[in-house]
Amino acid sequence: MVAKAHGTAVLVGQLEVGGRAAGLEHPVMLSGRPTTVQCVPDTPPPARQAVGIDVVAVGSAIVDVLAETEDQVLGRLGLVKGTMALVDSASADRLYRAMGPAVEASGGSAANTVAGVASLGGSAAFIGRVRDDQLGAVFAHDLRAAGVRFTTPAATSGPATARCLIFVTPDGERTMNTHLGAAACLEPEDIDAGLIADSRLVYLEGYLWDPPQAKQALRRTVALARETGAEVALTLSDPFCVERHREEFLELIDSGVGVLFANAVELTSLFQVGGLDQALGLVSSRCSVAAVTRGPAGSVVVAGDQVLAVDAHPVERVVDTTGAGDLYAAGFLLGLARGVALERCAQLGGLAAAEVIGHLGARPLVPLEALAAEAGLLEPTAGGRRAAGRGP
């Protein structure tokens, strides 16, 4: 992406989503004068046939187990508040026994995101591995019921369906402990080339970079997206995840990631710098768009030389922050798929995140499309949700 002087405007390379350009035009200050930033292609985008799915996500198929707890319980269990840790089966059993009354709900970061896309009226599909057990059936049912296409065959042997034990403290912060189980067994052969070819955006979950064969599945996804012209988006997922895979994440970004999602801690860790401003300056040269969440302070969106600070959407009471970043990504991606301006994308993300943190659980309880239309952020789709098909 390049910037070019053009009268009183600055022209920067345009983000192409699914063979069409997302319209970006925002006022900025240039040499002390109000200026408009417009986006134009660095090179003409390749022709691409019409696609049918807004977002295809590749991620961990997980069932969440959520329980409210006190901060001292986290200390007693040796848990680091606000983070995600991978645990083995024995540790998962130990933590489950220590939990209070719990609520079970289908989850998984990328799965939550595409559930949010569907709730906003978009079409979505998910690729991830479950086992043919009770939790696997629950996960598949819930995702399809949300309007998301899910056709990855369940494993008939091996580890059980993944579960994430989530401890929610009174301030709404969540501490997650994930036993990946069958989710870690996703293989390159599970990536449906037809789905990738039929998508505008392909969304990758950083959490899935830990298992070696799942890592190869993500690499295959990027390669297929490059072949078919789909835009690739990546979420860094967690600070510890960044610490484990920093160099590989940077290589992945350079290999074809156009849209990056992170929070401020993850982004500064990725570039090993002390401040967000430094990290924003570095990420702008690595990908077309970076969307960085800052909790109650909202988000910052970077595209080339353009930096947009967007306020958080109002929320009456924070109950559970599980899924906040996932739903922010849902709104942002849906906005990109619709071709709306980046500021509107961030506002859609903020609205989706505000809904999900107002209740227990990581998926919306009310149709986000209606909320977005009421807020003037989206035109409702004709006939309501444009489902990608629920599969078998």
Dump pLDDT digits (tens) for 141-175. Answer: 999 999 999 999 999 999 999 999 999 999 989 89
**Residue 310 binned pLDDT confidence (cut-offs 50, 70, 90):** very high
335 within some domain: yes
Give residue 91's pLDDT.
Answer: 94
Q: In whole angstroms, what is the distance from residue 306 CA to residue 304 CA? A: 5
Domain containing 20 equals 3-40
382 within some domain: no
Give residue 260's pLDDT.
Answer: 98
Q: 327-362 burial string, b = 16+ CB within 10 Å, else e?
A: bbbbbbbbbbbbbbbbbbbbbbbbbbbbbbbbebbb
- CB-facing half-sphere around the CA of 91: CA atoms within 13 A: 15
Residues 18, 97, single domain; the answer is: no
Q: Span 346-370, mean pLDDT? A: 95
Give residue 377's pLDDT.
Answer: 96
Residues 159, 87, single domain; the answer is: yes
Give residue 379's pLDDT.
Answer: 83
Top pLDDT among 219 and 105 is at 219
Give residue 322's pLDDT.
Answer: 83
Give residue 117's pLDDT.
Answer: 98
- Concatenated DSSP letters for 54-108? EEEEE---EEEEEEE--HHHHHHHT--TT-EEE--HHHHHHHHHH--S-EEEEE-
316 within some domain: yes
**Residue 48 binned pLDDT confidence (cut-offs 50, 70, 90):** low
219 within some domain: yes
**CATH classification of the domain holding 112:** 3.40.1190.20
**Residue 387 binned pLDDT confidence (cut-offs 50, 70, 90):** very low
Strands 289-293 and 259-263: parallel
pLDDT in tens, 56-101: 999 999 998 899 999 999 999 999 999 889 899 899 999 999 998 9
Residues 168, 302, single domain; the answer is: yes
- Concatenated DSSP letters for 184-213? GG--GGGS-HHHHHTEEEEEEEGGGGSSHH
Residues 10, 153, single domain; the answer is: no
Residues 143, 17, single domain; the answer is: no
- The total domain count for the chain is 2
143: phi then psi, degrees, rounded to nearest 5: -70, -45
pTM of the model: 0.81
Top pLDDT among 391 and 191 is at 191
Q: In whole angstroms, what is the distance from residue 227 CA to residue 193 CA? A: 10
Residues 81, 185, single domain; the answer is: yes
- Concatenated DSSP letters for 158-179? SSPPEEEEEEE-TTS-EEEEEE
